[in-house]
Amino acid sequence: MSYVITGKCLGEQYAACVEVCPVDCIYPGDHKGEKFMVIDPEICITCGACLPVCPIGAIVESEDYDPEFSKVNAELSPSFKGNAKVTPRPTNDPPRKPTNKLV
């Protein structure tokens, strides 16, 4: 099982998760015309480091919690893997989407 970045990240891309990932399995890219991050399920070791640092709770601890975005993460990982790393946004920066709230 792998952790999954959900649709809450779409357009947000805080990227705090990238800084804490011990195996570098989180990649940035664009999905549906918006900034997004994915977790590579082939590399994720389910250590849990990324879960508490996402300021909007866009990461879930199992593919079972969001099967749709589990598939998106797996499908986009190979094409996102070579993308340049992004500079993380401050975790207290307000979400860009009104449906997202800081947790």
Element (H, E) at 25: none
Q: What is the pLDDT of residue 1?
A: 85
pTM more than 0.85: yes
CA distances from 66 to 11, 50, 71, 76, 87 (A): 18, 16, 9, 15, 26
Q: What is the pLDDT of residue 35?
A: 97
Q: Which residues contact 94 (CB under 8 A, 6 or more apart)?
A: 102
Element (H, E) at 47: none
Q: Which residues of the chain have pLDDT under 70?
A: none
In order of their start, the domains of the chain are: 4-80 (3.30.70.20)
